[in-house]
Amino acid sequence: MNRPPRLDPPRVRRRRVPAFKRWFGRGKRRVGYYRLRDGLRNRLREPEFRRALRSTDVFLVGHPKSGNTWLAYMLAVLMSNDRHEDVNLYNVGDYVPFVHGRDHAIADYDHLPDPRVFRNEYPRYPRRYPGTLYLVRDPRAVLISFWHMFATVFDDRDMTLSRFVDGYLSGAAPFDSWHRHLGRWDRQVATALRRAEGGERVCIVRYEDLVADREAALRRVADFIGVVPAADVPAGDVPAGDVPAGDVPAGDVPAGDVPAGTSEGLSRAVALGSFEAMRDLEGRYGAEAYAGRARGEGRFIRLGRAEGWKDEMDPADAARIEAAFGPVMERAGYLGSCPADIRDTTPA
């Protein structure tokens, strides 16, 4: 059920954190206070998580700004067979909930049917996940998008991209307080690749593959999750009339945007997952990520281009990222003359 339309996310006022509190927080991080605290919390909450976990659950994991909300939205449309466009970027969490760093919160979604998909940018018990979708994106594009998000959330136009990249690579401001527990891109991706190569049920999905061919990428994801698009269900499994003929009106799917033979449910998700359609949705309903948080003006859905970072990032900043993440970028197909097909690491 749609929530009231929201054209502009509400503004919130944040009081500046006093200098002594920032200094005290840095000291606690240096001595490992937060690691100890979080480790204890994880141990205490793990039994609750394991009781709520189902064998069909899948966790969508990825560094922030890697396309997690985009893929979650298309999956929500697909899994709910959203014929009436009830799903939007504001209420997508009702269908594909986010439990970032709170794995035990899956217990709040017992009402969702199988298979359930949860978004988690801070996975606590990844080895216990029955299935993991790991979404990976070029880190140069990730940091550009992350920087824009920071500027919108805090209405901070003084933070340059170069300073932002410096802070990300070194753990300095703004990452000494904002997303301070976030694992670096290279460590996250290396762990996901290692798990997939080791035979765990991990499906690596490249953002760039979604941009190039949404239908093929989404079908592969649906197969991994175990979702059968409505028109793909074998005859006799769905009573006549449950999927009306002409359920996707002519013209709703742009010509050439969805290959011939694609099921109705999948074609709907692919069409609604275009950046034009999603920007329109954000304009009408707002975006979940900015609701109640954004102080500045800005779009959550921006460009959706695979190599748009080249137009915004100084070559020196790109070189620093490449120097820091080079080996993992090469493994993931972002450096070198011939991109690697990391999809081959996905177990059959």
* pLDDT digit string (tens) for the chain, length 348 residues: 333 333 333 333 344 557 766 667 667 666 766 667 767 777 788 999 999 999 999 999 999 999 898 999 999 999 998 788 888 888 889 999 999 889 999 999 999 999 999 999 889 999 999 999 999 999 999 998 888 888 776 767 788 999 999 999 988 778 776 777 788 999 999 999 999 999 999 999 999 999 999 999 999 999 999 987 655 544 444 333 343 333 333 334 443 444 444 578 899 999 988 888 878 877 777 676 555 443 434 455 656 566 767 888 899 999 999 999 999 999 999 997 545 555 555 554
299 occurs within a structural domain: yes
Does residue 319 sit within a domain? yes
Asked if residue 8 is part of any domain, the answer here is no
At 87, which CATH number? 3.40.50.300
- Residues of the domain holding 222: 40-345
The residue among 194, 218, 316, 214 whose CA lies nearest residue 256 is: 214
The number of domains in the chain is: 1
- Looking at the domain assignment, is residue 45 inside a domain? yes
Answer yes or no: is 200 within a domain. yes
279, part of any domain: yes
Work out the angle between the directed axes of helices 264-272 and 214-225 (0-180°, nearest 10): 120
Q: Residue 309 falls within a domain, yes or no?
A: yes
Q: pTM higher than 0.85 for the full model?
A: no
Q: Is residue 102 part of a domain?
A: yes
Q: Please state whether 229 falls in left (phi above 0), alpha (psi between -120 and 50) or beta.
A: beta
Going 222 to 224 to 228 to 233, the CA torsion angle's sign is positive
Which string of DSSP letters, residue by residue, matches 264-330? HHHHHHHHHTSHHHHHHHHHHH--TTTTTT--S---SS----TTGGGGTS-HHHHHHHHHHHHHHHH
